[in-house]
Amino acid sequence: MGKPQIIHTDGEDLVVLSRRDYEALCARAGEEAAEDAMTARIVAETGEAIARGDDVALPGAVWDAIEAGENAVRVLRKHRGLTQAALAEAVGVSQGYIAELEGGRKSGTPETLRALAKALGVPLDVLVE
């Protein structure tokens, strides 16, 4: 959060925030439109980071699970709060295909893996050993 500016007036003090900080406060207060705006901003920023080849921050528990041998697609899907059906729709494949990927019965085509990485908000190398 940036440093707010406080303006002293005759009546009351005013606090000036950046739009980003204001939207974050509204989202934390539970305003649905603000939550949607923040989610869109995070998705866009994550996509930009991936396009630049930057690392994307994930909780240690997510990395630990992947490094312990759990299926990366399953771990990331659950971390993102997605169902198999929702991820399948975002990627353009069937729910059954996602289940087969998560179960290790399919490895996925390069195109599918790129679409999965984008939908899960991670660089491709997180999904490809």
pTM over the 0.85 mark: no
What's the number of domains the chain is made of?
2
For residue 79, the domain's CATH number is 1.10.260.40
- Write out the two tokens for 44: 């866009």
- Residue 119 CA, distance from chain mean position: 8
Domain co-membership, 40 together with 77: no
Domain co-membership, 79 together with 36: no
- Write out the two tokens for 55: 């690392």
Domain co-membership, 15 together with 42: yes
pLDDT band at 49 (very low <50, low <70, confident <90, very high): low
Write out the residue range of the structural domain in which residue 20 sits: 5-52
**Across all residues in the chain, what is the average pLDDT?**
85
Tell me what the mean pLDDT of segment 103-107 comes to: 92
- Write out the two tokens for 36: 């949607």
- Residue 81 CA, distance from chain mean position: 10
Euclidean distance between CA atoms 101 and 42, whole angstroms: 26
- Write out the two tokens for 5: 């500016």
